[in-house]
Amino acid sequence: MVELYIDADACPVKDEALKVIARHGIRVHFVSNQWLRLPQSQLINVVVAPEGPDEADNWIAEHITDQDICVTGDIPLADRCIKKGACVLNHNGKEFTPDSIGMALATRDLMTHLRDSGQMEGGGGKSFSKNDRSSFLSALETAVQRLK
């Protein structure tokens, strides 16, 4: 049975995910480092991970299977989930795949190195748009249908 795992701390598409799980009757796990206010439902599991770096990521990586979907912007977590055979979507609907994750990791590492060495300032990407939200909703619907 398909389940949805959401790296929820900074997730901008919680409402969209709730629409899809309600439509399909699938369980969702919102995993974060703090309590989240979400609707009460048997389909919704709120997991507050222990404090510490990567604890929420560790919980997701330990529980996800090859029948599940992960929603995250965290590239190392995406890599871990892909290695377990899961479908992984970014918040803008882009799917991370075994073929694309290597380049995503390399780009992330390069950008981190450039920022840490002072060769680049800032780090935030473009702002999240209505188009991104719509693309995510469509990609999640497609992924759920494919896995069902």
Per-residue pLDDT tens for 17-57? 999 999 999 999 999 999 999 999 999 999 999 988 899 99
Distance CA(56)–CA(7), nearest Å, equals 7
- Looking at residue 113, its pLDDT comes to 65
Q: How many CB atoms lie within 10 A of CB 78?
A: 26
At a CB cut-off of 8 Å and minimum separation 6, what does 14 contact? Answer: 6, 8, 30, 36, 38
92, 111 contact by CB (below 8 A): no
| Mean pLDDT, the chain, whole residue set | 91
**What DSSP character marks residue 64?**
-
In angstroms, the CA 5 to CA 104 distance is 20
User: Is the per-residue pLDDT at 124 higher than 80?
Assistant: no
Any idea how long the chain is?
A: 148
Residue with tokens 């965290």: 74
For the chain, domains (ranges, CATH) are: 3-147 (3.40.50)
Of 39-43, 82-86, 102-106, the poorest mean pLDDT is in: 102-106
Locate all alpha helices (DSSP H) within 44-129, ordered by sequence: 55-63, 75-83, 101-116
Q: How far apart are CA 6 and CA 2, in angstroms?
A: 13
